Structures are given as C-alpha cells and as structure tokens.
Amino acid sequence: MSSRSALRGYFLVFLATVFWGGSASLAKFLFTTKYDPLIIVQMRISFSFLLYVLYFSVRDRAVFRLQARDVLSLVFLGVFGMAATNFAYYYTVKEASIATAIVIQYTAPVLIMVYAVFISKEETFNGAKVVALLLALAGCFLTASGGSFTNIQLRGWSLVSGIASAVCFAYFVIGSKHILRRYSVWTMLLYTFGFGSLFWLVVNPPWEIAARGYGASDWGVFLLFAVTSVLIPHTLFMLSLNMLDASRASIASTMEPVVAIFIAFVSLGEVLTPVQILGAVGVLAAVLLLQLPMGKQERSLAEQQVRDGE
C-alpha cells in the first residue's frame, strides 16, 4: 500500500463522512415530521439498489456476475451488515439523539481492530494505531456530546439498537473487506443493496407501503435521501477499503461528527463550543497519526492481501 494510495483512501473516507454527517441531521428532521425510520431505511437501500441496476444494466453487465459460493456471504452482508446497521442507527437517532447514535456506533473501530489483529490476524498490533483509536474515540465523544454525558441518552430499546448499530457496522466493514478481495466495489454493493432491499420487502411489503398514500414529493425525498446518505457515501467508503486496511478506514470514519458539527456551524449558525473544537482536533490528530509509515511486518501483511485479491 503506497502512501499516495493511502492518501486517496483517506480522502474518500472524508468525502463519505461529509455525506453521512449531513444526512444524520436531515434524518432527524424527517423522523420528527412525518416519516418512520423503517420507511426511510427501506427506501434509501431500495432506491440505491434500483439505481445501481439501471446504471450497470446499460454500462457494464459484468458487474452482475456472481459465484454461487459467495451468495450466502452477500445475503448476510446485505441483511445484517447493511439493513440492520441502517435501521439500528436511525432508530437510535429517533429514540435518543444524534450524539448518542454517533458515539455508540463509532465504538465499532474497537471491534474491527480486535478482530483484524487477534482473530483474523490480517493486521498487526502497534502503538500508533492504538493511540489513534483512543484519540478518535475521545474526539468523537467530545465532538458529538460536547463533553457532557447527559447528552448521551440511552433509554429503553435505544440501548439495544445503539449497541447493535456498532456491532453490525463492524461486521459490515470486515465482511466488505473480504468480499472486495474477489469482487469490485460495484458488484459487492449491488448485491448488498439488493439483498438488503429484499429483506425489507419481507418486513414491510409493497402493499403496506402503498397503503400509506405517499405522494410524488415523498418519493422525491426518499430518492434524494437514498443518493446522499447511502449511494454516494457507501460507494466512496467501499472504494477506500481497497486502499486502506479495515481498522484504519473505520478510525478515519470517525470524522463524521466533526463534519456534522462543521456543517451545522456553517449552514445553521449553531455554536461551536471549545470542547467540540477540542474533540475535532482529537479526531484529526488520530487521522494524521495513521499516516505514519507502516512497519515491516504490517507492510508485508498489506502486500500479501493485495496478492490474495489478484
């Protein structure tokens, strides 16, 4: 993994967090007006799938090629990685707060690092990565909550959904990394979106959706939210996984709350507190720390992974 490739990977993660950070506030607004988290999550995955199908049916049908041995892996990735992560995260946003949902979900890098270092042994354990992880977690907490535990409102089922969002997000990143060794980002996401969409059609069938009487403006909202909160950022993040290892990409993704508060500061005139600024500095320091050159053992593992994917 060259330094130039890694920088491109971090830049793609940053772009993904711009869309994710902006969509969290938009989702909270949609939930408090007229939409249920279920329909928002279902529509954003379903529209993303349909747009992928339409585009690649014309542009490159080779994207649809899939070996039978990988079907089950993609079913699990679509249902437990994509659909469950989305629903658990947005349910936590609705029942608790955006700060709570972000802080809990971004404990996922801990799970990813533990798996990659101690279970799959695809990554090495080094001090720089651990310090970066701790900085990112602390920075994420300070940025999202303002440093006050009273802003972390875990109650009722939001406690379960918050933990589930972290576990499922970790599974999604780890599972995607494995699939991307054999398939392109486009194939992986097409089938992940597809199986996630099928799952939601079972949970919330078309006739149930039709009975709600959504109008043209509602479908426009669903389409726009799908493109900005799933289609674009997930594509960018998956592309970054071809350039970064799973733990580095997940740690870098903690830039989302930093981006979110900056967007709120610029567009909504919200106040940036010194504690939030400190948290943002912590997250940025974590990402910069990840730029340190890899050690010999870590570089050998990265090169081996590239060879395995060829």
Nearest to 107 by CA among 245, 247, 6, 243: 247
Whether residue 44 contacts residue 86, with contact meaning beta carbons closer than 8 Å, is answered with yes
Rounded to the nearest 10°, the torsion over CA 280, 124, 82, 104 is -40
Cα–Cα distances in angstroms (integers) from residue 299 to residues 26, 151, 244, 245, 292, in the given order: 40, 41, 12, 11, 12
Q: Is the pTM of this model over 0.85?
A: yes
Q: Per the structure block, which two tokens stand in for 230?
A: 């799933």
Neighbours of 273 (CB within 10 A): 15
d(CA 12, CA 28): 25
Distance CA 22, CA 13 (A): 14
| Residue 234: predicted pLDDT | 95
Number of neighbouring beta carbons within 10 Å of residue 65 = 9
**pLDDT in 10s for each residue of the chain, 310 residues:** 567 888 899 999 999 999 988 887 777 778 777 888 889 889 999 999 999 999 999 999 999 999 999 999 999 999 999 999 989 988 887 787 777 888 888 889 999 999 998 898 888 878 888 899 999 999 888 888 877 777 677 677 788 899 999 999 999 999 999 999 999 999 999 999 999 999 999 999 999 999 999 999 999 999 999 999 999 999 999 999 999 989 989 999 998 888 877 777 776 666 778 888 898 899 989 988 887 665 454 555 455 544 554 4
The enclosing H or E element of 295 equals none
Element (H, E) at 54: helix 37-59
What's the pLDDT at 24? 73
Q: Are 22 and 184 in contact (CB under 8 A)?
A: no
pLDDT score of 300: 52
* Of 73, 109, 51, nearest in space to 287 by CA: 109
Burial class (CB in 10 A: 0-12, 13-18, 19+), 213: exposed
| Cα 175 off chain centre by | 13
Residue whose structure tokens are 């506030």:
25
CA distance 176 to 198: 19
pLDDT at 310: 44
Residue 187: its pLDDT value, please? 97
